[in-house]
Amino acid sequence: MDRPQIPDDQNVTSSGTLKLYHFVIIAVVATGVVALLFWYSRREAGHGEAPVSRDGVSVVSEGTRAVSLFFADEENQSLLIETKMVAMGKGFGDQVRQVMRALLEGSDGGGISTIAEGTRLLGVFYDSEAATLYIDFSSELIAGHPGGSSAEYFTISAIMRTISQNFPEVQAVQFLVEGLQVGTIAGHIEAYRPFAVSDWR
């Protein structure tokens, strides 16, 4: 009958050392990961929260720029120009978004907004080859519009003149509502094709 083999002391010591070595490596790696996560969380906290505009959208703070916005006068007979300092992003799309949000927020100087209350900016896209800017609005642009040919003209004109005044490279603007082209805003002016900026200066 074979006698059970008894491991020698050298094998036992080697196995124990190997297990200890693995344990130390795992502990070091885990400590490093925890330290890295702690550092990252402190770093993010140090940056603070991004400033938030009145419509609840975070705005970038790479700098500010004086922009020109257009609003109706008290009699709704003509458009007035108003200058406002706006936080701007680095990219062209970011800049357009900040200017349009400033227009949607309304006047600080007594002008009357020509855009239906509650209208939100959903997105912008610029086709540089065609020099055409696509601006996507929420459904309130149409659903909340007061109607009338004059009011519709001022809505389009305020947007077009704001774009042309601040972004001279844009030659045409296509209005979208909830991502779709629309035939008109209030039934008097065709809007299914891009508006030429030169027609609205």
Check if the beta carbon of residue 95 is closer than 8 Å to that of residue 111. Answer: no
pLDDT of 180 higher than 70: yes
Which sequence spans correspond to the domains of the chain?
8-48, 64-200
N-term to C-term CA, the chain: 107
Rounded to 5°, angle at Cα 161 from 188 and 145: 40
pLDDT of 173 higher than 70: yes
CA gap 73, 63 in Å, rounded: 30
The DSSP element (H or E) to which 82 belongs, if any, is: strand 79-87
Among candidates 138, 133, 140, 173, which has minimal Cα distance to 157?
173
Q: What per-residue confidence (pLDDT) applies to 12?
A: 43
pLDDT top residue among 131 and 75: 131
Q: Where are the alpha helices (DSSP H) in the chain?
A: 9-47, 92-105, 140-143, 149-166
pLDDT of 40 higher than 70: no
Q: What per-residue confidence (pLDDT) applies to 26?
A: 54
pLDDT of 185 higher than 80: yes
